[in-house]
Amino acid sequence: MQFIDSHCHLDAFKNYDEVVSRALKSGVKAIITSGCSVNSKNKTIEIAQKYPSCVFPVIGVAPQEAMSMNSFDSELSFLRDNKLKVIGVGEVGLDFHWAKSPEEVSKQRECFELFLDYSISEKLPVVVHSRDAEKDVLDILMKKGAERVLLHCFSGQLSIAESAAEHGFLISIPPVPSRTREKVIKHIPLENLLLETDAPYLGKEPSDVDDSAQLVASIKELEVEEVSKATTKSCMALFNMRGLNGGD
Ligand SMILES: [Zn+2]
210-236 pLDDT, tens digit per residue, is 999 999 999 999 999 999 999 999 999
245: pLDDT confidence band, cut at 50, 70 and 90?
A: low
Beta bridge partners of 236: none
Ligand 1 center to residue 122 CA distance, Å?
Answer: 22
The pTM (predicted TM-score) of the whole model is: 0.96
Rounded to the nearest angstrom, the distance between the alpha carbon of 199 and the centre of ligand 1 is: 8
Residues 6 or more apart whose CB falls under 8 angstroms from that of 99 comprise 63, 67, 105, 107, 108
Residues with CB under 5 A from ligand 1 (ion): 198
Rg (CA), the chain: 17
Task: Report pLDDT digits (tens) over 63-101.
Answer: 999 999 999 999 999 999 999 999 999 999 999 999 989
Using left for φ > 0, alpha for ψ between -120 and 50, and beta otherwise, residue 27 falls in left
Instruction: List C-alpha distances in Å: 53 to 30, 72, 200, 234.
Output: 8, 30, 22, 18
pLDDT in tens, 121-171: 999 999 999 999 999 999 999 999 999 999 998 989 999 999 999 999 999
**Helix-strand-coil percent breakdown of the chain, rounded to 5?**
50, 20, 35
Say what percent of the chain tops pLDDT 70: 98
CB neighbour class for 117 (10 Å; exposed up to 12, middle 13-18, buried from 19):
middle
Residue 43 has pLDDT above 60, yes or no: yes
Q: How far is CA 87 from CA 6, 33, 65, 139, in A?
A: 11, 10, 21, 24
Distance 52 CA to ligand 1 centre (A): 21
Evaluate if residue 195 carries a pLDDT over 80: yes
CA 10 / ligand 1 centre spacing (Å):
10
Ligand 1 centroid from CA 62, angstroms: 8
Q: How far is the CA of 36 from the centre of ligand 1 (A)?
A: 8
Ligand 1 center from residue 135 Cα (angstroms)? 19
pLDDT at residue 248 in the model = 40
How many whole angstroms from 152 Cα to the centroid of ligand 1? 7
Q: How far is the CA of 171 from the centre of ligand 1 (A)?
A: 13
Task: Say what the pLDDT of residue 18 is.
Answer: 98
Domains within the chain, CATH numbers bracketed: 3-238 (3.20.20.140)
Identify the CA nearest to 88 among candidates 243, 241, 239: 239
CB atoms near residue 189 (< 10 Å) = 10
Distance of CA 8 to the CA centre of its chain: 7
Beta strands in 63-110 (DSSP E): 88-95
Query: Residue 244: its pLDDT value, please?
Result: 76
Q: What was the pLDDT predicted at 213? A: 98
Ligand 1 center from residue 241 Cα (angstroms): 20
Average pLDDT, the chain: 96
Q: How far is the CA of 61 from the centre of ligand 1 (A)?
A: 11
Q: Using 50, 70 and 90 to split pLDDT, how confident is the model at 192?
A: very high
Distance 161 CA to ligand 1 centre (A): 18
| Gap from CA of 9 to ligand 1 centroid (Å) | 6
pLDDT score for 247: 42
Q: Which of 166, 169, 121, 161 is nearest to 141 (CA)?
A: 169
